[in-house]
Structure 1
């Protein structure tokens, strides 16, 4: 059996992934590598529940807060950065421990990513103008005229994915589905990694999500979002759509009460957690689902089955 190459920890938001990754990194001499699409943004430490500065000081943490909110950070960008970090971590003789809730990141790490070429800015601007002029329904209809298959897979309300499909079609002359068959090799060998999806009790998880949002408000989430809003960025950017941000921006603009903004942030996060369960069940069905309280012992037991773990604490 080859040496253990990495540990991958996924799960719904607020399931305890970061604490587990930290504990494993301290035990195995590892480096925690972010796999959450919102925790990459430096503007959003509190509202995205990034590890605290004290936690980040206990073991090395990489790919947290390294992207500006003005950047439309894609899966391709993530793989580019992860490739660099993996090389650094391996050169240092440490164990990579990926931690996050973004399923597409984990799927790309272990299965590769389709070779869709970059979309020129003028094409992106054209599609954005179409969205503003036609609205989500009209943009979906425009996609359906040229790519009925992709349009049938997407709902009009999913405007970012509809826009992405139309951008690729206009930029390359090929539907997005045609590119999915052309995939680069994955960064990680699935035979050499340990995976875990933390699956807490739903009711307990939802209660934890609600309590965490209140705690984030007490810790400065509103001030963080106020500073983000002052930058007047495109509202369709990923950072501007992070859970909690739209509601708090609406409160700051006077269109929502504080209580309603908090309730919206809590509800949006609960709905996201539900979607995470569904996505991983269908997209990565071979990942073991573990109770959070049992995950550390389970992963350490499975790691011990490898002939060597690539690093130990100094």
Structure 2
């Protein structure tokens, strides 16, 4: 009989913005001796603690939190960068007997771990400069039309007003000679060397909308306008991801005297609501895991933090059955 070995296991807590992921991840970290690893593409920026609803000091004192506020707003994050950092943090957690808990709503980040990732070559500074220049000169819709002519497969998966992703697609096509869709079809980096147990939250629409509105009001009271003012003082490139975070364009309009604070809140809540619909649709169509992993999807409830008592026992039992019994014979 061979000696028992431990299967490396990680927990995923995923779902749309404002669905209560952070509260659930913290409860699970206390129960399963976990280290919470950020899987939200905006919460990596240290300049946006308020507007991205990063965990507060009390939460960070209750359980280890990693990859929150680690990038300057001037540095564009990427899925490849995040995957490398997340794997490093996961290994460090396992090394000290903790379970990594990946918490966030950026599906492409999470799938880079569960399914692997194709590495796209650096298109070069010239291609980046051209893409940004065109996006500013002719606008995202016109650039999307050009992309459709040369790389229709990639263009078909992009919204015509998504400046950041259209610029990225154009620079990759220009700088590498192949489109993003082509690169993504090539062999790439393997999935993370572990088993995943995933919890995907999917609240009902009206309850989520109320939660978004309430949270944005809290952000304003906590100093979100001042946070955006400090960010604008840096004079950063407006196409950087941090400059396009939810709430930043709307509060920028307030600071420029173009909108009232009430109008900005209404616009931001509507924008975040549309984004959460896209997130929810994505998660419904993309299982976070591979064969042998486990997943539970909780749907049609108001909000985890509000309904935690009725839902936590179900989630805990589901995870306990899979995490507490990880010792097997090799």
Regarding TM over 0.5, the answer is yes
The alpha-carbon deviation at position 310 of structure 1 amounts to 7.2
| Counterpart check, 1:298 vs 2:319 | no
TM-score between the two structures when normalised by the length of structure 2: 0.88
The alpha-carbon deviation at position 216 of structure 1 amounts to 0.8
Q: Deviations over 1:140-172 (max 9, x none)?
A: 232233212222333321222221111111111
**Of 235-244 and 144-153, the range deviating more from structure 2:** 144-153
**Of 10-19 and 131-140, the range deviating more from structure 2:** 131-140
| Counterpart check, 1:184 vs 2:189 | yes
TM-score between the two structures when normalised by the length of structure 1: 0.92
Q: Is the 8 A contact 2:198 2:288 kept in 1?
A: no
Q: Secondary structure at the match of 1:78?
A: helix
Q: Is the 8 A contact 1:198 1:295 kept in 2?
A: no
The alpha-carbon deviation at position 285 of structure 1 amounts to 7.7
Q: Is the 8 A contact 1:12 1:198 kept in 2?
A: yes
The alpha-carbon deviation at position 283 of structure 1 amounts to 2.5
Give the Cα–Cα distance (whole angstroms) in 1 for the partners of residues 157 and 207 of structure 2. 33
The alpha-carbon deviation at position 58 of structure 1 amounts to 1.0
Q: Is the 8 A contact 2:42 2:245 kept in 1?
A: yes
Q: Secondary structure at the match of 2:250?
A: helix
Give the Cα–Cα distance (whole angstroms) in 2 for the partners of residues 187 and 270 of structure 1. 32
The alpha-carbon deviation at position 80 of structure 1 amounts to 1.5
The alpha-carbon deviation at position 193 of structure 1 amounts to 1.5
Equivalent of residue 62 in structure 1, options 43, 66, 78: 66
Q: Is the 8 A contact 2:9 2:323 kept in 1?
A: no
What is the aligned partner in structure 1 of residue 83 from structure 2?
79
Give the Cα–Cα distance (whole angstroms) in 2 for the partners of residues 210 and 99 of structure 1. 22
Q: Is the 8 A contact 1:11 1:197 kept in 2?
A: yes
Q: Is the 8 A contact 2:6 2:326 kept in 1?
A: no
User: CA, structure 1 residues 303+2, in 2 after alignment: closer, same or farther (shift >3 Å)?
Assistant: farther
| Counterpart check, 1:214 vs 2:230 | no
Equivalent of residue 197 in structure 1, options 192, 200, 204: 200
| Counterpart check, 1:142 vs 2:167 | no
What is the aligned partner in structure 1 of residue 33 from structure 2?
29
Q: Deviations over 1:249-286 (max 9, x none)?
A: 11001111111111111111111111111111122388
Unaligned runs of 5+ in 1: none
Q: Deviations over 1:92-126 (max 9, x none)?
A: 11100111111111111100111211231221011
User: CA, structure 1 residues 275+188, in 2 after alignment: closer, same or farther (shift >3 Å)?
Assistant: farther
Give the Cα–Cα distance (whole angstroms) in 1 for the partners of residues 288 and 273 of structure 2. 22
Q: What is the aligned length?
A: 309
The alpha-carbon deviation at position 61 of structure 1 amounts to 0.2
User: CA, structure 1 residues 188+261, in 2 after alignment: closer, same or farther (shift >3 Å)?
Assistant: farther
Q: Is the 8 A contact 1:3 1:308 kept in 2?
A: no
What is the aligned partner in structure 2 of residue 45 from structure 1?
49
Q: Secondary structure at the match of 1:144?
A: helix
Q: Deviations over 1:204-247 (max 9, x none)?
A: 11111101101111011111111011111111111111111100
Q: Is the 8 A contact 1:93 1:310 kept in 2?
A: no
Give the Cα–Cα distance (whole angstroms) in 2 for the partners of residues 26 and 221 of structure 1. 30
Give the Cα–Cα distance (whole angstroms) in 2 for the partners of residues 2 and 88 of structure 1. 16
